[in-house]
């Protein structure tokens, strides 16, 4: 498995070594020893989540805060998405910057999103099944987020606005400016 650190420290793209033959394919999706060696700490995943979405769905930008913060290892089991991670770690040199990576059932890439990041994705295929491991349990009281179409962030979700499908929660999410003010960032 190949690990490539993105421009955001601690955020990695994982690309498996895929073994294919006439029967199909095999690859190692997760190995705790390799993961610990590259990430630099033991990450014990405690919760797996899976969602199915149709073309045009944009989910995010979400995070869990404080002691309930979550690191995630995300991948696509069916279809294709644009996955986005935004660094909101106080004091980070890349605060407010984001990375985007296409994850698909074909490329089998994964993205490791550390704690202290907003996360979201848009569905680029007719349907997508999205799977992610979390290193902490979900707690509703620790939810936070930013509107996915925030102008300051300026993320291109690769979906025309008139074709986007957002939840009511995401449509009503705060701006990045309000998020920064709430968190004491200038």
- Enumerate the active-site residues: 62, 132
Q: How far apart are CA 53 and CA 59, in angstroms?
A: 9
Distance, C-alpha 168 to centroid of its chain:
20
| Residue 52 CA: distances (Å) to CA of 10, 59, 67, 76, 80 | 27, 11, 28, 10, 11
Give me the count of residues in the chain. Answer: 186
Antiparallel, parallel or unpaired: β 19-21 and 72-78: unpaired
For CA atoms 135, 136, 140, 144, give the dihedral sign. negative
What is the CA 141 to chain-centroid distance, rounded?
20
């Amino acid at each position: 498995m190949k690990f490539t650190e993105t421009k955001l420290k601690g955020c990695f793209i994982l690309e498996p070594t895929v073994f294919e033959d006439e029967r199909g394919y095999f690859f190692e999706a997760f190995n705790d020893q390799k993961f610990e060696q590259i990430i630099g700490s033991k990450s014990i995943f405690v919760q797996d989540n899976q969602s199915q979405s149709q073309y045009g769905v944009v989910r995010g930008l979400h995070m869990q805060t404080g002691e309930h913060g979550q690191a995630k290892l995300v991948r696509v089991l069916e279809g294709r998405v644009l996955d986005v991670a935004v660094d909101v770690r106080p004091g980070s040199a890349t605060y407010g910057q984001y990375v985007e990576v296409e994850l698909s059932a074909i490329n089998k890439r994964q993205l490791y999103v550390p704690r202290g990041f907003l996360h979201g994705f848009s569905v680029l295929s007719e349907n997508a099944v999205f799977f992610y491991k979390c290193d902490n349990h979900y707690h509703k009281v620790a939810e936070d987020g930013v509107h996915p179409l925030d102008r300051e962030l300026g993320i291109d979700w690769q979906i025309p606005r008139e074709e986007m499908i957002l939840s009511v929660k995401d449509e009503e999410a705060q701006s990045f400016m309000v998020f920064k003010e709430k968190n004491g960032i200038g």
